[in-house]
Structure 1
């Protein structure tokens, strides 16, 4: 029932569009759109006519019938010739115009009816956990956005959306600041993943505003704008606290799960690629082609680094498995080549010169 009432309140959206921004369709333009080139005088008469809406005016234009014979749009002439259909058509046009005028969404309507529905849906999407069911009607929210764009509320809606998400991200940033060091990395990972997941629903819901306002008038993209909000209000404020913790976790194998480390490093690279310069070796483990290609003269150094990693893993309870089937004298040889191979894999190198 709610969706049906909204459809009646905001209906008649499409006839208003005379350009790609859906602007500047007045009531007279609406009548001319319905009747074609000959509708100018008639549409004006319908809108500003006498008490009956069909007051005296200049001679009505002649419209061609299907057989090519000209007939009059003058209601009196049509009635005299038995043209009841012409009068009915004029009345229908007048009724359609009145309905259009009554269904205009004012700024008060937008603030009291339409934006609260969008505000509530955005709240749920921003705070949902992965796998949660969100009890909102995506069709209804998309319809709200569509009608508001048609009624020229795009600028206000975009401003409200940016303000809404900015306030949310500032709260997220404060919560992260209060996190203890041992939970800091994991909570940052949750905040990043939750926000990026929310964008997968928010951006499609506002696709109509994006296409006909943000891309056309602002020459930007909604998804890029929303990612920049997270960069400015969360990541940039925490990067200098987060990076030392990530480097420390990297030096202690499995202090945090590999998936968490990968998600954060890839996420930071997506937000701002120049952050690679803060820890190239860390980013190179998850992002290809960060470091220059390996060279043959440094193979011994790579092997030494890998052997150090293996010793650290063994000290933390990890074993190399059953070595009993190796023949005598092969330990050093296998260790050398395994070390090189493992280093290339862990460092993200694809070739060496």
Structure 2
């Protein structure tokens, strides 16, 4: 494999990936060291490689939940090799940018089509439609992320200090959850007034997803979430929160007095740790997104 220069700015402001990053990723995937990589020009990347990846990602994003044919038509090996070839030809940043743009445009289009109704029936369609979006995106992520594993190892993790999974989840939160959460909760409240207007399992699954991805609603909509999540109401009361903090501090003191327990700074829990944050760990978000999507 050709040796690449260290990171430098390109005319469009994107940063080229360094030799060290490529070597690190290659070490992680030793079987790829023997693969001959044909150089891909920018023209070929834009005319052949990216359109191929674009089609596959679009297919996975739009695949119906009950359809197995779309994913079966996708060759993971071919797509992974395509990504690998693009990266080795120094199109890493363009590849990442194109992927983020494609997913963002898809989510914007989906968001525009999710319209809350003025009647019970239209609200029910809105609720079930939102859950379908959550499930479909979760399933798509489950298949898209592995295709871009090499991009994640070479560029997103070492240079952007993030990971592809988090980035794609943040796009979903920005374009879908942040825009629809409050209206969706309102629609679900109205649906609750008539028993079984929406399947209870649908309501519960959607409530759990919202609870994970929109933490600020845990306080303002604590009563609503308490119907589906046992600890939702009690965990957001100020008095209960203070009691939880005090109980945790007492437990820490007791543990420190225990000679058989090694207490480190990483095990401390401060008051700030108990406050509701807008950022959630990716594992919690992904768990919510993937519910029922497999």
Q: Give the shorter-chain TM-score range.
A: 0.5 to 0.7
Alpha-carbon distance in 1 for matches of 2:138, 2:207: 14
Paired residue secondary structure (2:228): coil
- Number of residues of Structure 1 aligned to a counterpart in Structure 2: 206
Q: 1:104 matched to which residue of 2? A: 39
* 8 Å CA contact 1:129, 1:194 repeated in 2: yes
Structure 1 residues 141-183: Cα deviation after superposition (integer angstroms, max 9, x where no partner): 1111111122221111110001001111111011112763341
| RCO higher in structure (CA 8 A, sep ≥6) | 2
Asked if 1:172 is matched to 2:113, the reply is no
Q: 2:161 matched to which residue of 1? A: 219
Structure 1 residues 277-320: Cα deviation after superposition (integer angstroms, max 9, x where no partner): 23112223333422228xxxxxxxxxxxxxxxxxxxxxxxxxxx
Q: 1:36 matched to which residue of 2? A: none
Alpha-carbon distance in 2 for matches of 1:178, 1:257: 18
- CA shift for structure 1 position 218: 0.5
Q: Judging changes above 3 Å, is the alpha-carbon distance between structure 1 residues 288 and 152 closer, same or farther for their aligned structure 2 residues?
A: farther
* 8 Å CA contact 1:22, 1:149 repeated in 2: no
- CA shift for structure 1 position 127: 0.6
Picking from 84, 89, 92, the partner of 1:154 is 92
- CA shift for structure 1 position 204: 1.1
Paired residue secondary structure (1:21): helix
Larger Rg: 1
Q: Judging changes above 3 Å, is the alpha-carbon distance between structure 1 residues 286 and 181 closer, same or farther for their aligned structure 2 residues?
A: closer
Instruction: Calculate the TM-score normalised by the size of structure 2.
Output: 0.64
Instruction: Map 1:288-307 onto structure 2 (within 5 A).
Output: 288-292=230-234
Single out whichever of 198-207 and 237-246 deviates more from structure 2: 237-246
Instruction: Calculate the TM-score normalised by the size of structure 1.
Output: 0.54
Alpha-carbon distance in 1 for matches of 2:200, 2:164: 31
Picking from 65, 68, 81, the partner of 1:130 is 65
Instruction: Map 1:1-353 onto structure 2 (within 5 A).
Output: 12=1, 18-22=19-23, 103-132=38-67, 133-134=69-70, 135-177=73-115, 180-292=122-234
Alpha-carbon distance in 1 for matches of 2:217, 2:160: 27
